[in-house]
Amino acid sequence: MSDIQYIDGKQPHQREHRLIFKNIDRVGWNPSLDTYRNDGGYKQLKDALKWEPKAITNEVKKSGLRGRGGAGFPTGVKWGFIPPNNTKPVYLICNADESEPGTFKDRYILHQDPHQLIEGMVISCFAVGAHLAYIYIREEFPEAAEILERALEEARNANLLGDNILGSGFNCQIHIHRGAGAYICGEETGLIESLEGKRPYPRIKPPYFPAAMGLYMCPTIVNNVESLCHVKHIIQMGAEEYAKLGTPRNTGTRIVCVSGDVKKPGYFEIQVGKMTMGELLNDVCGGPKDGRKFKAVIPGGSSAKILRCDEKFNVSCPPGTEKREISFEEIPLDFDTLAACGTMAGSGGVIVMDDSRKMSWVLNNLNKFYAHESCGQCTPCREGSTWMRKITDRLVAGKASPSDIDTLNSIAYQIDGKTVCAFGEACSWPVEAMVDKFRAELVSETSEDNESIAHSAESEAQRRFLQPQG
Ligand SMILES: Cc1cc2nc3c(=O)[nH]c(=O)nc-3n(C[C@H](O)[C@H](O)[C@H](O)COP(=O)(O)O)c2cc1C
Ligand code: SF4
């Protein structure tokens, strides 16, 4: 990798370990099949087609790869959930919705290295027995969709897709499906409904786990763009070598997207758990802007609970060892430690806020997004997300009362765990964490004089709804 030249100003940081982003911003690189093949591309597909499909699933299991789309679920284990006696068609769906605020990694793969994704998808299809796959791409990526269309055409013409791929006897087609611009289409069952041509109301799990009852009620594997790219590298390196990257249970590399109040925001591919939050923010991203101090960070996309930069955590660090106290800066960027710290690694979107930021504004910004994006299927999420938004609208307008902060918190807890899909948590966790960690600051922006506004008819209605029914 050392002989690879990158465009001036876009060289990877020395702490990065690039597998997935190896070709991003590379001098002389373009998304064509020729370029990809001249660099050894599609060799892993050729190799994989000689394996037993089950052996590939086992290799992915052994690699420890965990999904990079949000939940961090082990990819090989998910593939293994396809019912063993299944007689229906199996589908693979690449989730290219990339809708989680703060996340901007998949778009670079789609724009600059589409054949890496296609190769990963065809290997994955072969492993799970899928002959038809879809790339569900968000509406806001029209250019990426065109680049992908061209790449798929090239792959078809080169017999890397279609019938009897590379003479192996394996048939596989990939189609692109363009979304219409809804965050909920990133949720896998909402995505499936949308792909079926319906309103994207997520399905309840259980029973509708896609691996058993997915697209057209057939077994369906939904994986994120980045996750599917890793499959190619697992075949290339072998599971054992791949698992040496990162840390046990948190293997491989992942792309973190840093935005907000740092000197050098951007995308960075790091070994999972081998870098701490402090190293990422200070060494890789150049620290806070001049004259500023870090105040808070959302570590895994906007749905992840916010962390204060002066917090201490009592956690097993590294995972599996005795608990000990660590500072915010000492948190290793892995799935398990971030979960133990009460938040999540999620989709890798690290949103940084310095001491110039008002938390009321930040929370209102999040609440606006979630109130707009709720699909409306379940009452707690549909009504609650709007109520939360209305309260923080009042807060930023200087019209909230101290009791509003309790109402806000109460609404969040009435949503959390009571909805069809995880959007319920996505919209309530930011509120719960913000009230928990920045209550004093939020309350300082309220006034008892606004109590009458808080007790308006609408607020009363909210309060009555939230009273436990005796
Ligand atoms: C509200 C919501 C939005 C989501 N948006 C995305 C998304 O844009 N991209 C994505 O890959 N996963 C998204 N997910 C996670 C998917 O449901 C699913 O877990 C993921 O695509 C599985 O892929 P992985 O196992 O490779 O991570 C979202 C989940 C929820 C609850
Ligand atoms: S939780 Fe929200 S987004 Fe999910 S199904 Fe219910 S209303 Fe729709």
Q: Which CATH architecture has domain 359-466?
A: Up-down Bundle (1.20)
Kindly tell me if the per-residue pLDDT of 334 is higher than 50.
yes
Omega prior to 318 cis, within 30 of 0 = yes
Residue 295 backbone dihedrals phi, psi, to 5 degrees: -110, -50
Alpha carbon separation from 28 to 2, 7, 10, 117, 175 (Å, rounded): 15, 9, 14, 20, 28
Q: Cα(25)–Cα(37) distance, rounded to whole angstroms?
A: 17
Q: What is the DSSP letter of 469?
A: P
CA of 415 to the centre of ligand 2 (A): 10
Q: Which residues line ligand 2 (CB under 6 A)?
A: 184, 202, 374-378, 381-382, 419-421, 423-424
What is the rounded average pLDDT for all residues in the chain?
95
Residue 166's pLDDT is what? 98
Chain mean position to CA 363: 20
Against a cut of 0.85, is the pTM above it? yes
Tens-digit pLDDT profile for residues 356-413 = 999 999 999 999 999 999 999 999 999 999 999 999 999 999 999 999 999 999 999 9
Task: Tell me if 247-354 shares its fold with 359-466.
Answer: no
Does 3.10.20.600 match the CATH number of domain 247-354?
A: yes
Residue with tokens 């890789």: 284
Domain boundaries, the chain: 33-244, 247-354, 359-466
Task: Please report which confidence band the pLDDT of residue 25 belongs to, taking 50, 70 and 90 as the band edges.
Answer: very high
Chain mean position to CA 232: 20
Tens-digit pLDDT profile for residues 451-470 = 887 777 566 666 666 665 54
Give yes or no for a contact between 433 and 392, defined as CB atoms under 8 angstroms apart: no
Q: Which residues line ligand 1 (CB under 6 A)?
A: 67-71, 73, 75, 95, 97-100, 183-184, 186-188, 222-224, 227, 421-423, 426
Q: 3-state SS of the chain: helix, strand, coil percent to 5? A: 45, 15, 40
**CATH class given for the domain over 33-244:** alpha beta
Structure tokens at 251: 């293997």
Give yes or no for a contact between 31 and 115, defined as CB atoms under 8 angstroms apart: yes
Q: Residue 442: CB partners within 8 Å, gap ≥ 6?
A: 359, 360, 363, 395, 405, 434, 435
For ligand 2, what atom is nearest to the CA of residue 415?
1
How many other C-beta atoms lie within 10 A of the C-beta of residue 146?
Answer: 11
Element (H, E) at 315: strand 312-316
Q: Cα(446)–Cα(449) distance, rounded to whole angstroms?
A: 9
Residue 470's pLDDT is what? 46
